[in-house]
Structure 1
């Protein structure tokens, strides 16, 4: 089963307001999502998300998310190949499912399925 490519990258940040200013300058656009717990930008077909470091949904380091058509099938395929589930598939809003796995070296592999 192929992926639809990396389209989402989440960055943990210690100061959401300061990071918003930096990423707004970097991308040259205002965020599409701007809340106390998440700031998201849509730029050139990619979603760049800022998450407060230390929050339950925050990764420890930036995570690239591969978009897939069937998240459960891709999780099964990856675990059969030797990856380990870090966070099983769960809904995060608007029907979007996310999961994270790690490869044998501890690299985090993010998966997203949009419904």
Structure 2
């Protein structure tokens, strides 16, 4: 039934600021921007080995009011060095959600809350490397 990850959607009250922050983090510009009356209400990046989509949507289009505290599902993006990625995220203004934890041989996770209230997970995952041929 589930065939693969298509788009991870984050919400931000200031899409322009979020787009700048993620541009700095990812080192790439969004490949798609949808403005409404000048300001973008949606931007989208293609990320990583499989070009998965990371979309940032204006918070007013969230299906429900956003909670006061970040939480819910954590989507992990594979990184080669969790400690370094975690420290870089903190240096860019994210706050720790869960410090790096070894989950077992070949599996390390960490997560942060971005400056816009979204939980962003990073993970070293030996199965990702094996499946992706890297």
Higher strand share: 1
Q: Structure 2 length normalisation: TM-score? A: 0.40
Higher helix share: 2
Q: Structure 1 length normalisation: TM-score? A: 0.47
- The structure with the larger Rg is 2
Structure number with the bigger relative contact order (C-alpha 8 A, sep ≥ 6) is 1
